[in-house]
Structures are given as structure tokens and as C-alpha cells.
């Protein structure tokens, strides 16, 4: 029997990139998956068709939309076993030049939105549930120009550790997966990353979304039940911590 047979999952930001690969991997392992998106409806519906689930629109910057998304997931699946908090927005600009509205936009999605998805999951996941937060290896390497982005993700890593303690008595594990350079739209939006990735990554290239999805999905299996509160660097050797 597939390892996640009978399980239900919500993957945020699953219309494209890493989230899409995670949704497809969880489905290949037997889970039914709700595919969250903000704008890319057609792409999300195509992923959902392969996931025995449905697409659910919610801009994670909008707390009312988050609540409505969880209500719909609970209604359609009747329970939720796995949350993958993957949606995120990239941002690169020196701290000295960063306007308030950009700070608020990035934190609204990467930090506040992710936090309230965690809160909803904490309230509804059954004993033995799984939560995986997608951060970034950049919180370790701290590259210049990534102040807001790394700050927003560092908070998410802290939420992981604290929620792991708070939910441990219910055998719900909470972990972070931190990708290194990964070939997605976000990566291609900054041409300098394609130049840096092979130079900075010990294994000599950028990763593929499917290579991140393997680790996220494994953390959702029963075999990973003894791992909680951790930050797994999935990055071809970038950031050996
Ligand atoms: N690619 C990398 O090199 C890399 C490295 C480290 C960490 N990460 C992290 O990995 C995660 C996935 O990144 P990616 O590279 O796959 O990004 P991507 O290709 O830009 O895809 C982003 C996904 O997030 C969704 N999204 C964006 N804003 C949203 C919002 N306000 N509400 C709900 N969904 C929203 C998008 O939905 P729509 O399609 O509807 O816009 C899309 O599905 C992010 O958290 C990112 O920070 C990426």
C-alpha cells in the first residue's frame, strides 16, 4: 500500500515550482492533496487533477482567505493530516533602500500568512499529523540584498521549533525544509542566481523542484516520526550546518 494512502494534505503555493512538485509527490505516495494558489488558477487545477484533490484559491496575505481555505479543506476532505507551508515570495534589495510597503508585502505572505496557516493546522490536525515549513538556505548564508526575505523566513524557522514543542504531546511533527538554489520561476526571476548556483553549491548545480519534494514527502511518512523541530538543508551541500 502507498505510504500516504488515506492521508489528506494541503500544500500552499502548489500551482508552480517547488509546491507543485511536493503536491505531485504526496499524491504519488497515496495522499489526496488540496492545491493552494494565489493567481495561477489553470496551473493549480491541472496539478489538482493529478492529485485526486482540488485547487483552492487563497492569497496568504489575506487572513480571511486563509480561514476560508481551511474551512473548505476540512469540509471536502473531512479531515486534514498534512500541511506543507510552501508558498512564498522572493525579494532582493538592500535594507537601506527597502520601502515599508515591500517589507509589509513580503512579511504578509512569508511570515504572517504562514503563521496563521500553522495556527489553523494546529487546531485541526489529528494526532500523528505532519507539518513541513519551506524556508531557505539563505537564512544560513545571509547573502546581501536578502534582508527582508531572510528575515521573513527566519521567523518561520522559529515557528517550526516552537510549534514542534507545542504539538509534540499529540505526536504531530513540525519540521523545516530549506532548499538551496532551485530551478523555478522565483530562481529564474533573478538571473544572477543561475550564475552563482554552480559556483556556491558543492554538488555543482542548482536543484530541481522534485529533489526538494522528495525530502518534504519523506518527512510526512510514518518512517520520519522521530524527527521534529529540525531544519533540513536540501541544497546539494550548500550550508553544511
Ligand atoms: N526557488 C528557489 O531557489 C528557492 C530557494 C529557497 C527557498 N525557496 C522557497 O520555496 C518556496 C517555493 O518557491 P518557488 O521557487 O517554487 O516559487 P515560485 O516558482 O515563485 O512559486 C511560488 C508559488 O507560491 C504561490 N504564491 C505566491 N504568492 C502567494 C500568495 N500571496 N498566496 C498564496 N500563494 C502564493 C504561487 O502561486 P501563483 O502561481 O498563484 O502565483 C506559486 O504557486 C518559497 O517559499 C520560496 O521562498 C525557493
What does the domain layout of the chain look like in residue ranges? 8-234
Looking up cell 531572510 gives 150
Best residue among 186, 206, 238 to mutate for probing ligand 1, ranked by most atoms within 8 Å of CB: 186
Whether residue 176 contacts residue 233, with contact meaning beta carbons closer than 8 Å, is answered with no
What class has domain 8-234?
Answer: alpha beta
Whether residue 30 contacts residue 87, with contact meaning beta carbons closer than 8 Å, is answered with no
- pLDDT score of 191: 84
**Is residue 132 within a helix (H) or strand (E), and if so which, with residue range?**
strand 130-134
CA 186 to centroid of ligand 1, rounded, Å: 7
CA 119 to centroid of ligand 1, rounded, Å: 20
> Ligand 1: which residue has its CA nearest to atom 2?
182
Nearest-atom number in ligand 1 for the CA of 90 is 47
Whether residue 83 contacts residue 125, with contact meaning beta carbons closer than 8 Å, is answered with yes
Dihedral sign, Cα of residue 5, residue 125, residue 56, residue 187: negative
As a whole number of angstroms, the distance between CA 221 and CA 225 comes to: 7
Nearest-atom number in ligand 1 for the CA of 182 is 3
Nearest-atom number in ligand 1 for the CA of 16 is 43
Nearest-atom number in ligand 1 for the CA of 153 is 47
Intervals of the chain under pLDDT 70: 241
Residues within 6 Å of ligand 1 by CB = 12-19, 36-40, 59-61, 86-89, 109, 134, 136, 179, 181-182, 184-187
CA 213 to centroid of ligand 1, rounded, Å: 13
- pLDDT score of 105: 98
Best residue among 110, 184, 191, 201 to mutate for probing ligand 1, ranked by most atoms within 8 Å of CB: 184
149 is catalytic: yes
CA 95 to centroid of ligand 1, rounded, Å: 22
Q: What is the pLDDT of residues 81-99, one digit of tens each?
A: 999 999 999 999 999 999 9
Q: What pTM does this model have?
A: 0.98
**Is residue 34 within a helix (H) or strand (E), and if so which, with residue range?**
strand 32-37
Amino acid at each position: 500500500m502507498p505510504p500516504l494512502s488515506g492521508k489528506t494534505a494541503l500544500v500552499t503555493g502548489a500551482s508552480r515550482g517547488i509546491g507543485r512538485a511536493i503536491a505531485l509527490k504526496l499524491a504519488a505516495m497515496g495522499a489526496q492533496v488540496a492545491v493552494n494558489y494565489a493567481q495561477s488558477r489553470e496551473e493549480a487545477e491541472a496539478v489538482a487533477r493529478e492529485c485526486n484533490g482540488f485547487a483552492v484559491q487563497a492569497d496568504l496575505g489575506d487572513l480571511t482567505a486563509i480561514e476560508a481555505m481551511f474551512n473548505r479543506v476540512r469540509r471536502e476532505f473531512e479531515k486534514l493530516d498534512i500541511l506543507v507551508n510552501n508558498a512564498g515570495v522572493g525579494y532582493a534589495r538592500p535594507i537601506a533602500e527597502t520601502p515599508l510597503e515591500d517589507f509589509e508585502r513580503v512579511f504578509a505572505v512569508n511570515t504572517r500568512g504562514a503563521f496563521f496557516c500553522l495556527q489553523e493546522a494546529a487546531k485541526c490536525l489529528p494526532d500523528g499529523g505532519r507539518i513541513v515549513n519551506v524556508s531557505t538556505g539563505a537564512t544560513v548564508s545571509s547573502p546581501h540584498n536578502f534582508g527582508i526575505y531572510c528575515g521573513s523566513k527566519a521567523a518561520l524557522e522559529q515557528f517550526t521549533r516552537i510549534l514542534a514543542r507545542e504539538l509534540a504531546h499529540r505526536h504531530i511533527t513540525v519540521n523545516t525544509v530549506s532548499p538551496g538554489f532551485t530551478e523555478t520561476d522565483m530562481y529564474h526571476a533573478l538571473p544572477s542566481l543561475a550564475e552563482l548556483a554552480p559556483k556556491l553549491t558543492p554538488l555543482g548545480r542548482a536543484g530541481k523542484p522534485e529533489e526538494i519534494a522528495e525530502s518534504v514527502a519523506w518527512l510526512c511518512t510514518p518512517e520520519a516520526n522521530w524527527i521534529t523541530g529540525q531544519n533540513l538543508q536540501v541544497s546539494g551541500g550548500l550550508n553544511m550546518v
